[in-house]
Amino acid sequence: MARNHPVNWAGGNSPLLDPAIFKLIADTAPIIILLLDRQGIIQHVNPYFEQLTGYRLDEVKGKEWFSTFLPERDRDRIRALFLNAIHDVPTRGNVNPIITRSGEEREIEWCDQLMRDAQGNTLSLLAIGLDVTGRRQAEAELRKTAELLNEAQHIAHVGIWELNLLTSELSWSDEIYRLFEIDKGRFGANYAAFLNAIHPDDRDSVNEAYIRALVSRTPYEITHRLRMSDGRIKWVEERCVTDFDAEGTPLRSRGTVQDITERKQAEASLRQTRQLLDSIVENIPVMVFLKNAEDLRFKLFNRAGEELLGYPRSDLLGKNDHDFFPSDQADFFAAEDRKALAADGVTQIPFEPIRTASGETRYLHTWKIALHDESGNPAHLLGISIDVTERKNTDEQIRNLAFYDVLTKLPNRRLLYDRLYQTMAASNRSGHYCAVMFIDLDNFKPLNDRYGHDMGDLLLMDVALRIANYVRKADTIARFGGDEFVVILSDLGADKEPAVATAGTIANKIKTALAEPYFLSLKQYGNAEQVVVHQCTSSIGVVCFLGNKFSPEQLLKRADIAMYQAKENGRDMIHFYQSMD
């Protein structure tokens, strides 16, 4: 296992060296602290463990860890890892479930450290755990949503690579060059050069996994090591998907590489109580800081906070938020600090933006608590922050997959119905007419049949842009499916005839715009460019309505009927549904 070294805090006399303050951090931080003897018997757990599992220390102290908290399927594996660690056999970081009092399983990411006596004999094992259940559930939900929509197989935006299997040309994003620590100008961009950058012991397994994925025509995921030029080891997680032609020939592989080195490393050198608690503060994957209560200047900042903000702690210590952040953001932090200093117990700030040294905005969940002097007056403010940016981004990505068309970025059918409900309700309140247009392209299929779906996708994206030029921001354009689009026009006025005329004018502008030639350009393999000029008209059905007398389904059905009447009338036509009274 990785070993840590004692940390020298700036200042030497930091109040955090007080064991009482260390205990407060251990009792406050949202991490598990678990102490096991050489037989795996529980010696101590912290309050967060009690909160997470529902068991008190006095209930579990003296019990065997593996049979009490681990699912039966994992006990032998984790017990073997424990025995290796006790006998000082190097082990990797571990993630495994534990069972709470309610029977729920929580996924925990562990970092272990042996405790030794003065002679170096192993006394016990200290395990520091981070609950990653929410993160894994969010990832699973994102994958599930992507599969259901079947249009959004997004690859995580980390390092991105692409291999042209026809030319053997390999391209990397700048992030991968940074991760691999390879000079972009000296790298031979081919698959063999990529394999050469992998740890020698992992090259065969990576190559075999890729070949199996090509043969089975399935995506693959693999974790392996990189060996840096100076001997350092990095761990990465790779994911890859491959495109095949109609005959099953692989054409192009695309993938991501994510640096998971920190997750694979276990750092701790905790032989004495102060060193133990000092290392917890320095190595927990959350930001920890300490401020003076009087002037809110930083007295302590840990490594996670340093990495998160991008400032070296030497620049932070002795200064306050106004020295680093925009005034409005610094004012917000100072106000929250004052509230926490005046409060009893822990103050939570579930969601706060913070600007890093690079100008990037991250989002934090922060806990703050006042530390009092012997007179009971606030002396310091202790803060602990978790970076929840990825969770926020995942939530936004899930929402986009659920409500927007991946190709055109327009609202999908699900969001269309919601917008139509809102428009009907607004019409009912205001007494103003609205309209629904159902647009179907007249000559789309021949383009797909002759040039393929990639060319058809280019036309659909162009259609979406052309329609958008003739509607207001308050209106809605949605992709209904295939080559069908729906436009909702709101607030056309209280008089029916002018409302119908306005809807007709807009429909005619859209029809005219969609009939203009489409100049479609598509990059081919080998960087050849294929240019196609295509003529494609549209048939548009329009229904005007007032209030919410009819359901969204009924309105769309009538607009669809009108659209088919436009097709029967010769295509490239507009037809109004006549009976909506």
Query: What is the reported pLDDT for 492?
Result: 94
Query: What is the reported pLDDT for 1?
Result: 33
Query: What is the reported pLDDT for 41?
Result: 96
Q: Which residues pair with 366 in a beta bridge?
A: 349, 385
Q: Over the stretch 102-141, which tens digit does the pLDDT of each residue have? A: 999 999 988 888 888 888 888 898 888 888 888 878 777 7
Contacts of 503 (CB under 8 A, 6+ apart): 435, 437, 489, 492, 542, 544, 576
**Structure tokens, 441:** 């392209």
Rounded to the nearest 10 degrees, the angle between the axes of helix 413-430 and helix 389-403 is: 80
Contacts of 321 (CB under 8 A, 6+ apart): 296, 329, 330, 333, 334
d(CA 298, CA 519): 60
Q: What angle do CA 108, 114, 117 make, to 5 degrees?
A: 150
185 DSSP assignment: G
Residue in this structure with the two tokens 């393999």, named with its chain if needed: 525
d(CA 76, CA 456): 55
d(CA 57, CA 351): 31
Low-confidence ranges of the chain (pLDDT < 50): 1-12, 16, 146, 148-157, 266-271
Q: Which amino acid is at 250?
A: P
Query: Domains of the chain by range and CATH?
Result: 31-136 (3.30.450.20), 155-263 (3.30.450.20), 286-391 (3.30.450.20), 404-576 (3.30.70.270)
Please name which of 362, 296, 368 lies closest in space to residue 334, comparing C-alpha atoms: 296
Contacts of 339 (CB under 8 A, 6+ apart): 347
Please name which of 85, 76, 79, 138 lies closest in space to residue 107, comparing C-alpha atoms: 138
Look at phi and psi of residue 181 and say left if phi exceeds 0, alpha if psi is from -120 to 50, else beta: left
Query: What is the reported pLDDT for 156?
Result: 39
Pair 28, 384: CB distance under 8 Å: yes
Between the alpha carbon of residue 387 and those of residues 286, 320, 356, 384, 572, the distances in Å are: 7, 20, 12, 10, 54
Burial class, 209, CB count within 10 angstroms (exposed 0-12 / middle 13-18 / buried 19+): middle
Query: What is the reported pLDDT for 6?
Result: 31
Query: What is the reported pLDDT for 11?
Result: 42
Q: Over the stretch 174-211, which tens digit does the pLDDT of each residue have? A: 888 888 888 877 776 667 777 888 899 999 998 898 88
